[in-house]
Amino acid sequence: MHAAGPKNPLHGITLQTMVTQLVEHYGWEMLGRMIPINCFNWNPSIKSSLIFLRRTPWAREKVEALYLDSLPDMQPNTEGEAPAA
């Protein structure tokens, strides 16, 4: 698991928030390709994904790692700023 505390980028972020943001950013199809688990590929929903991920530590770790890797891409650009390269 990850360390608790305010310096941890996952501190205060719920699993539901992570999955929702990943789905909004990538979509179910791409998410299922990046993390090939049935809850993302077969009849996907936030609810079914949360049930599976809460019971399956290795899958949750993959979602957390993808979320951390994707954070820079998911940050909204403020007006006047150039997109990050």
pLDDT of residue 77: 60
Whether 63 and 18 have beta carbons less than 8 Å apart is answered as yes
> Of the candidates 57, 59, 21, which has an alpha carbon nearest to the alpha carbon of residue 41?
59
Q: What is the pLDDT along the chain (85 residues), one digit of tens a residue?
A: 556 666 788 888 999 999 999 999 999 999 999 999 999 999 999 999 999 999 999 999 999 999 999 998 887 765 555 555 5
pLDDT of residue 47: 96
| pTM of this structure | 0.79
Whether 4 and 18 have beta carbons less than 8 Å apart is answered as no
SS3 breakdown of the chain: % helix, strand, coil, rounded to 5? 60, 0, 40
pLDDT of residue 84: 54
